[in-house]
């Protein structure tokens, strides 16, 4: 095992210790740790990583998935080209005007939302989600409801809460924390397409990486959630396999319409968030930058007082923990740190720019960072998930709101753990990492 592989492997356990310390000394949780759940959660991640990164059949499978995802993504742009013309032509193609997020990347969300709706209509996704839910329930000994929600979040976003709607009212606070964590530690398949589109020209195997990250993050979310908020009650569905609750569309055409409409809502939400958040961050940087520059002159120091810079300082130790080479640690720490405020969309764009500009010295840095960023672990997403769950169960608004911040921390640590798993098995000869 190479040095950085060993650092990433050690990072798994360092993150577990950090999570326990936060739980014990910041949140006052003194309950006994559920070692059974933790061992199975880590074990599932390692077994899955071994299959896709080391086992030849697994490597070929996920390379095929990567190729299929890229082909499907290329077809997704046909509709955008018809509507937006040359504005939708991606970089590298004849007539392209360069990368334009709104006209090239965002339409893929609408396309993939419709595709997911089709998979739901034909019961393909519910079947696959059910298999993962059974796996989590039986191996990790958690409630069927939170297992089902965690499994759903591998494929869909806030909509996963609908699958457990009948159970939310009677869920324990630990369960509520878990479903929030699972939502923020994973990404929806329609938004995942956006990240693939953003990075593909610089990172051809990114689709395979992000798909694998979605699978790895689900058990990581369960582990971190139960450390930060241990279960003290008796969940109604503990150890039980529950069926997914969803309203099936009347026809295939209705499913496509509803899926596309849902994707359009996601696009509008992302646009609104980016405009508002990036503007507010710029205003904040202007204020603290002016104050900070005077402080630098007074103290004769050189501190970056932008939000990105300050968050980079906070996440710098975590960047080293997940196995990023020290030469790239400063850049990657800022990219990972800014996700908390700017959302993962901006972070992936900055990662793509860093790869394109050749400011990263090691391919490893880009790979591990792509796993660390693969999640909705940011403030805006926390508000969205809290709003989505409380809309289904208004009487649980107070309970959900009280566990939201814990869930955000747990989701952030889960994403970092997923990065550690990827960093552990990183090899230059792997087809997936190629």
Q: What are the sequence ranges of the domains in the chain?
A: 3-424
pLDDT, position 384: 85
Residue 331 CA to residue 351 CA, distance in Å, equals 9
At 73, the pLDDT band (50, 70, 90 cuts) reads confident
Q: What sign results for the dihedral spanned by CA atoms 401, 407, 411, 412?
A: positive
pLDDT in tens, 379-425: 888 988 888 888 888 899 899 999 999 999 999 999 999 999 999 99
- Identify the band that residue 428 occupies on the pLDDT scale cut at 50, 70 and 90: low
Tokens representing 62 are: 């996920």
Rounded to whole angstroms, the Cα distance separating 275 from 271 reads: 6
Q: Which of 292, 41, 25 has the alpha carbon at shortest distance from 146?
A: 41
Asked if 160 contacts 67 with a C-beta cutoff of 8 angstroms, the reply is no
Query: Which pair of tokens denotes residue 386?
Result: 């809290």
> Please, how many CA atoms are within 13 Å of residue 127, restricted to the half-sphere of its CB?
5
Helix (H, G, I), strand (E, B) or coil at 361: coil
Distance, in Å, from the CA atom of 73 to the CA atom of 427, rounded to the nearest integer, reads 27
Give this prediction's pTM.
0.90
Following DSSP, what letter does each residue of 188-238 receive, concatenated?
-HHHHHHHHHHHTTT-TTHHHHHHHHHHHHHHHHHHHHHHHS---S--TTB
Of 80-94, 258-272, 404-418, highest mean pLDDT: 404-418
Q: Is the pLDDT of residue 434 over 50?
A: no
Q: Which residues does residue 143 pair with via DSSP β-bridges, in sequence order?
A: 238
With CA atoms as reference, report the closest residue to 285 among 307, 302, 313: 307
pLDDT > 90? residue 89: no
Average pLDDT, stretch 203-214?
85
What does R_g of the chain's alpha carbons equal in angstroms? 21
More confident residue, 181 or 116: 181
More confident residue, 87 or 151: 151
pLDDT, greater one: 64 or 350:
350
pLDDT at 88: 81
Lowest mean pLDDT among 8-12, 95-99, 351-355: 95-99
For residue 427, is pLDDT > 80? no
Closest CA to 327 of 357, 360, 373: 360
- The residue with greater pLDDT, 225 or 245, is 225
Average pLDDT value over all residues in the chain: 88
Give how far the C-alpha of residue 331 lies from the chain's centroid of Cα atoms, to the nearest Å: 20
Nearest to 210 by CA among 223, 225, 191, 227: 191
């Amino acid at each position: 095992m190479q040095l950085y592989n060993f650092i990433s492997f050690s990072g798994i356990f360092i993150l577990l210790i950090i999570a326990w310390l936060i739980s014990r000394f910041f949140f006052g949780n003194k309950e006994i740790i559920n070692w059974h759940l933790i061992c199975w959660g880590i074990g599932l991640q390692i077994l899955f990583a071994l299959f896709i990164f080391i086992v030849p059949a697994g490597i070929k499978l996920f390379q095929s998935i990567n190729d299929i995802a890229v082909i499907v993504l290329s077809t997704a742009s046909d509709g955008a080209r018809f509507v937006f013309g040359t504005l939708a032509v991606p970089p590298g193609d004849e007539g392209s005007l360069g990368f334009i997020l709104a006209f090239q990347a965002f339409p893929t969300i609408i396309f993939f939302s419709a595709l997911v709706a089709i998979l739901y209509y034909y019961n393909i996704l519910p079947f696959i989600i059910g298999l993962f839910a059974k796996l989590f329930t039986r191996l990790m000994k958690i409630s069927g409801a939170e297992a089902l929600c965690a499994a759903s979040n591998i494929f869909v976003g806030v909509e996963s809460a609908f699958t457990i709607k009948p159970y939310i009212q009677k869920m324990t606070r630990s369960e509520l924390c878990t479903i929030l964590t699972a939502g923020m530690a994973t990404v929806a398949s329609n938004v995942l397409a956006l990240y693939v589109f953003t990075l593909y020209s610089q990172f051809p195997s990114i689709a395979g990486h992000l798909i694998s990250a979605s699978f790895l993050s689900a058990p990581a979310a369960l582990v971190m959630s139960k450390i930060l908020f241990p279960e003290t009650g008796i969940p109604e569905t503990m150890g039980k396999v529950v069926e997914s609750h969803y309203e099936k569309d009347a026809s295939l055409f209705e499913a496509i319409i509803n899926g596309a409409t849902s994707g359009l809502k996601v696009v509008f939400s992302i646009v609104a968030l980016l405009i508002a958040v990036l503007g507010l961050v710029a205003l904040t940087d202007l204020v603290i930058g002016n104050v900070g520059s005077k402080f630098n002159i007074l103290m004769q120091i050189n501190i970056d007082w932008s939000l990105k810079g300050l968050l980079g300082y906070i996440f710098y130790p975590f960047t080293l923990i997940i196995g990023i080479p020290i030469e790239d640690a400063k850049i990657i720490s800022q990219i990972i740190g800014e996700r908390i405020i700017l959302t993962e969309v901006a972070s992936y764009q900055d990662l793509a720019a860093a790869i394109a500009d050749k400011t990263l010295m090691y391919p490893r840095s880009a790979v591990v960072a792509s796993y660390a960023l693969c999640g909705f672990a940011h403030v805006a997403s926390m508000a969205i998930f809290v709003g989505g769950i409380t809309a289904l169960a208004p009487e649980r608004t107070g309970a959900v709101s009280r566990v939201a911040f814990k869930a955000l921390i747990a989701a952030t640590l889960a994403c970092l753990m997923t990065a550690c798993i990827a960093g552990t098995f990183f090899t230059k000869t792997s087809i997936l990492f190629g």
